[in-house]
Amino acid sequence: MDQLSPAEKAEVEGYLNTYPELRKELREIERSLEIFAGTAALKSPAGVKDKILHDIRGDVSGTSNANQQTFNIWSLAAVVFGLGLLLFGYLYFQKDKDTKRLEQDIAAVRDTCVTNTNALTKQLDLLRQLTQPANKILPFTATPGFASTDIYLHTNKATKRNFIQVRNLPALASGQTYELWSIKPDQPPIPLNVFDNPSDGLIEVSYVDGTEVYAITIEPSGGKNTPTMENLIGTVSVAGI
């Protein structure tokens, strides 16, 4: 009512006089407003502020602890994950290293097998040639200065192949080698093969049509075009064979 202008207040008073029940409602409204105003003016009990601040700090602390716990869990997970990666990398490296080593070993074994197979194939071929029906086995005649010479010529006129089988040869000095010669009537000796003492005791040498005698001398490494007769170690005749 205090907020109304004089004209408005007079108008309201006229309504209240005309309708008494409105005055009762107005009083009730005014009483309610007074109670509300009194309630709004009340001070908060002592300690409420401190309690609220304490609760807020507790919430913050709880949140911080929860965040710290979450951080610790993620840190542990990161460490475990990192260790897992390191372990996986190490195992992968070891496996790759072992695989490469295994591949190298397999390659070495394969090369050895190929080498041995080739050597065995060669030996089988030689043995096959030595057992041919037309094959002839002729001993070399050692010369007086090299009586320890013990070798054989395997010759086959049909296949035109010659093999020397070594049982014993005179020792060579450094820078020396053995040399095979073909000797024909009224011709100078023809140089053929230069060779060392074969490890398997058998070596294929040249076959020359028309040869009457094969001879072996000791010559300087690389051989010569004319034989050193004082180093003649043995001869074998094939005339008429």
CATH number, domain 136-237 = 2.60.40
Total-model pTM: 0.54
Residue 182 has pLDDT above 90, yes or no: yes
Task: In whole angstroms, give the CA distance from residue 178 to residue 169.
Answer: 9
pLDDT, mean over the chain: 77
Chain segment 88-143, per-residue pLDDT in tens: 676 766 766 777 777 788 888 788 888 878 877 877 777 787 788 889 999 999 99
CB distance 154 to 165 below 8 Å: yes
Domain boundaries, the chain: 6-40, 58-131, 136-237
Give the phi and the psi of residue 191 in degrees, each rounded to 5. -70, 135
Higher pLDDT, 22 or 202: 202
Residue 47 has pLDDT above 90, yes or no: no
Chain segment 23-39, per-residue pLDDT in tens: 565 565 556 555 544 54
Closest CA to 211 of 178, 184, 173: 184
Chain segment 207-221, per-residue pLDDT in tens: 999 999 999 999 999
Burial letters 112-140, b for 16+ CB under 10 A, else e: eeeeeeeeeeeeeebeebeeeeebeeeeb
Q: What is the pLDDT of residue 224?
A: 95
Place of tokens 């460490």: 79
Q: Using H for helix, E for strand and C for coil, what is the string for 138-179?
A: EECEECHHHCCCEEEEEEECCCCEEEEEEEECCCCCCCEEEE
